[in-house]
Structure 1
């Protein structure tokens, strides 16, 4: 139903659904309820659902795939993420590939960067904060089902089409997540921190899914600031060395006790050597 080539205009679907009932807006409610359940695994009921939809859909979606994309992103195309605000930086078009590298999840974790679920309502509410020796990367939680790859590919194809809200938000989000996942261990890090809620059989299967998705182009401006801050924290040797030391030697009580015992033994050995070489005179 979400294949790009199979899309039927929403107006046709509304008419077909309304044939079975005297309620004039049943078609609209049925489609929204269906898409909300598919995207977020929960149904939005009136009146809360109606208010939420009013804030999300600033214009009527043309078909189910566009409705899916809008619900998936949870933002207003015409204001917060308008093409003029996102694509033009110093008057230049930013339809280019990422210029800032983003390390894998395990590599970032090794440098003292922790992952936390974002509380934002938009899919693009990804934020990074450098907190002393540690960093915190907040990413919205997302349920990954067996059909996720097919839907992602069709959303990417839809954003490449002309006359669409082609701000590449979904494509850029998938590219960002793809940059974090190079190995099943990366999936494990994101899954253990409730970023990815996987319905697949294994971490290997989820990692393979992301690696098989090809990203033709992205909106460079959406995550540029986040990636620059990640890279700045990553390049700080003092921060990363101290974070690595704390993670390695103070991650558990036993590791801390072992470090304390080794330090005490080293100090005693030093004192013994010193007094052997320079014994105290008199009393």
Structure 2
């Protein structure tokens, strides 16, 4: 047909055979001792808004953003942190000792990422990154080189200081290193460097950094929990274990994995104003103390089922970043991390999705914010869970399953809704209430007078 194009069949076949062989190779298995996968946030979730809640702005930790944004590596500072760790060492370990220990962990560390990065970082570059980033974490959060007693933080209301840089830098480091799902290294690397540097410290790296995390979360009033000691998968996972509801709070009764008391599928939560109009009240639940909440996830109905008790959510510019990255951790690790933070975020995103809802919850002390207005908070809360997958009908994954069923039953009850409507329309205004009571009293008096008038004309009446 006059076609002058030629195809080298043998070369193309050889290339495809190599690709087939690579595709047929067994997929890499995640090594034992690496329960938390450090994965990229999916594009459908990342592109929901343009707020950059998943990207660092000050410093990168781990390979994802070292490759994407090399200017955020801050290796000059991390080299100084390596010097600080080695200077604080009580075991006399050499630089070769540190590199050797990290090199033995390379394969295990690579298996903790959704990508191995072998095309972007050879062994030398990967081991160097792990060592520098681990030292950065230990100096910033582990108190290895600042002269403080490790693992014994002084609890106070404000965010704790790490002893280097001004407060703005401290906030930036916390935001980038503690809060971001992608900006992480496996925690066992940090723990290895810690044990090599200060083997006689008396506490592990997890204990030392957990003290900082507890102080931080207590100051922000997000959590006062003290989880059982266990090595986390990474720093964000260390935060995540502090966001655990009390087992009895909002837990539906289950039998054989099925919810008792109804088979109705869980739908959207109603808005706060809708529940309010149906007679459901809202109360702020205090953190800590006897019977108090352990974290903001401790949402429950009161004993009579007429009020939803919710720990106060202190909203600032970083609240969305923390919650969205905790959800991203759960999305990548459904078996290991569960979906409790996602369940909570679904609740608040649907409960407070309009300015009127935020205003109502603010008056009740459930939401506290210093942002521009209720509309800004409502807009961000409404978009909090966009792009997030969540199985609301699974009681094992939705700890608020029973709470939704109870509230929905109350909302669908017509007598309760009518009673709530009367209370809101007439008894919320004292003058209307007095007038209605007077009218009712006048009606009763009229009826009694009529009855006595009839009885006066009846034989045998008085």
TM-score (norm 2): 0.47
Rounded to whole Å, the distance in 1 between the matches of 2:302 and 2:187 is 42
SS in 1 for 2:433: helix
**Alignment map for 1:168-187 (pairs within 5 Å):** 168-187=339-358
Residue in 1 that maps onto 2:300: 127
Match of 1:5 among 162, 182, 187: 182
Pick one of 213, 217, 239 that aligns with 1:68: 239
1:40 aligns with 2:218: yes
- What do the CA deviations read for 1:119-176 (whole angstroms, capped 9, x no partner)? 3325443222584xx8211222222221111122211111011475232110011001
Q: Distance in 2 between matches of 1:90 and 1:240?
A: 29
Distance 1:204 1:163, change over 3 A: closer
C-alpha RMSD of the superposition: 3.8
Q: 1:121 aligns to what SS in structure 2?
A: coil
Q: Is the 8 A contact 2:299 2:308 kept in 1?
A: yes
Aligned mate of 1:23, from 166, 186, 201: 201
5 Å-filtered alignment, 1:144-223, equals 144-162=315-333, 165-213=336-384, 214=386, 215-219=388-392, 220-221=394-395, 222-223=399-400
User: 1:190 offset after TM fit, Å?
Assistant: 1.6
Compared CA separation, residues 74 and 10, structure 1 to 2 (3 A): farther
Report the secondary structure of 1:116's partner residue: strand
Aligned length: 253
**In 2, Cα distance between the equivalents of 1:101 and 1:74?**
21
> What is the aligned partner in structure 1 of residue 415 from structure 2?
238
Cα distance between partner residues in 1 of 2:192 and 2:435: 72
Task: Name the structure 1 match of 2:437.
Answer: 260
Change (3 A) 1:90 1:104: closer
The question of whether the paired residues in 2 share the 8 Å contact of 1:141 and 1:196 is answered with yes
- Deviation of the 1:226 alpha carbon: 0.9
Q: In the aligned structure 1, how far is the partner of 2:344 from the partner of 2:302?
A: 19
Instruction: Summarize deviations over 1:74-108 as a string: whole Å, max 9, x none.
Output: 568xxx89xxx99x7359xxxxxx72332100111
Greater strand share, 1 or 2?
1
Pick the aligned partner of 1:112 from 254, 258, 279. Answer: 279
Match of residue 257, structure 2, among 89, 95, 98: 89
- Which residue of structure 1 aligns with residue 405 of structure 2? 228
Instruction: Give me the TM-score of the superposition, normalised by structure 1.
Output: 0.73
Q: Distance in 2 between the 1:104 and 1:182 partners?
A: 7
Q: Which runs of 5+ in 2 are unaligned?
A: 1-176, 260-264, 286-291, 458-462
> Structure 2: how far apart are the matches of 1:206 and 1:116?
19
SS of match in other structure, 1:138: strand
The alignment partner of 2:402 has SS state of helix
TM-aligned CA deviation for residue 8 of structure 1? 2.2
Higher Cα Rg: structure 1 or 2?
2
| Alignment check: 8 A CA contact 1:57 1:70 kept | no
